Amino acid sequence: MGTAVRTASADERRRRVRRDGRGRGASAAAATALVCALGMTAVPEAAQAAPGEPAPRPDPGGSGGPGGKSLEEVRSEIEGLYRKAERATDAYNLARERQKRQERAIVKIARAVVKAQKEMADLRERAGAMARAQYRGGGMPAEARLLLNGDPGDFLDGVTLARKGQQATHGLMSRLERTRVALDRYAESASKEWERLDGSRKKKASAKKQITAKLAKAQRMESRLEKKERERLRRLEEDKARASQAKWLDTGILRELGAGATATGKRAVAFASAQIGKNYVWGAVGPDTYDCSGLTQRAWAVAGRSIPRTSQEQWRLLPKVSVGNMRPGDLIIYFPDASHVGMYVGNGAMVHAPRPGRQVTVAGAGSMPILGVVRPGGV
């Protein structure tokens, strides 16, 4: 009886809920309560945002990337991998340039050797001719033949000829010795250049291996992110860059800047700006893809100035100017190891090739840690 009453009461309550139209609302309220009790772990991220508002970014300590890492941790790790790859790229480019120089030096030495060998063959032929002439004279020294000559006039003429002969012989022997020494020197130089060339090739191969490994790891990490996470990763990078730029501008640096570009600087800026949108590819110098220093080198080559290939060599060899005296066309060197470079284009902005997976773009000149500024066009 009691059970029947309770059942009827429950049935009546369900009927009243349906009649009142509150069944769906009650179910939603129960579901909401359940989700709150569970800490909302079962609700997709998009469901947390109000209609028309972007989904909130994950807490730095929360899960948002591969291996349970937060998206910020993933961003930091990917950035570190690309930075290491960029350092290795600089080493690769430098080794490649040295290899080219060493190959040219070896070719130059080889040409000098061929020339010296021809000269040596000619000198030996002349020395042989002299020896044969002496043999035909009975092997008697010229001085002895002069003493036996009874005609005073012929004697004086003979003395002059003998002296000339001696000078020619001495000159010939001296040239033979100098040529022999030169050939020995060329052989030694060639051996050293081959050793240097071998060292450059090994360094280049080692750097390429590092680059390939770092890039592959970074690309694997990015590929494991969903499309929306990759987009948020890009936004995180941009937010970090904007924060650094704002901090840089807060120093009042723009009040110090203002010097106009030179004619060559304008040409360099125009070329670099025209490359915006082209892909970053390590080791590339154009015309369709660039790495950071490949872009700056090519821009200044078009402007009429030859500058070093790598950002580290650009920093080491080009004239330095203070950041406050920076003008369009100057190169901004970034990070303590000088592993990145961009071109200042004015108004606190620069053009650069950021990293693999990105394109040549405009960014804040202070969006990364500045090591210093160099001026390819001269001070």
CATH number at residue 131: 1.10.287
Question: Is position 228 within any domain?
Answer: no
Domain identity same for 91 and 29: no
Mean pLDDT for the stretch of residues 3-30: 41
Please give the structure tokens belonging to residue 123. Answer: 């000198």
Domain identity same for 208 and 87: yes
Catalytic residue numbers, as ranges = 292, 340, 352
Question: Is position 241 within any domain?
Answer: no
Domain identity same for 145 and 198: yes
Our count of domains for the chain comes to 3
- Beta-sheet strand order (sheet of 320-321): 320-321, 370-374, 331-334, 340-346, 349-352, 361-364
| Beta carbons within 8 Å of 15's beta carbon, 6+ residues apart | none
In which domain, by residue range, is 97 found? 81-212
SS3 301: helix
Mean pLDDT for the stretch of residues 337-358: 92
Q: How many CB atoms lie within 10 A of CB 293?
A: 32
Domain identity same for 102 and 183: yes
Domain identity same for 152 and 269: no
SS3 282: coil
Domain identity same for 207 and 273: no
Q: Where do the DSSP E strands lie in 50-121?
A: none
Output the pLDDT for position 118: 81
- Domain boundary among the residues 147, 179, 212 is at 212
**326: Cα separation from own chain's centroid:** 22
Q: How many CB atoms lie within 10 A of CB 67?
A: 10
Q: What is the DSSP letter of 81?
A: H
Of the two residues 352 and 182, the one the predictor is more confident about is: 352
- Domain boundary among the residues 212, 228, 245 is at 212
Question: Is position 243 within any domain?
Answer: no
pTM over 0.85: no
Domain identity same for 335 and 286: yes
Number of C-alpha atoms within 13 angstroms, CB side, residue 199? 10
Domain identity same for 195 and 117: yes
pLDDT at 172 over 70: no
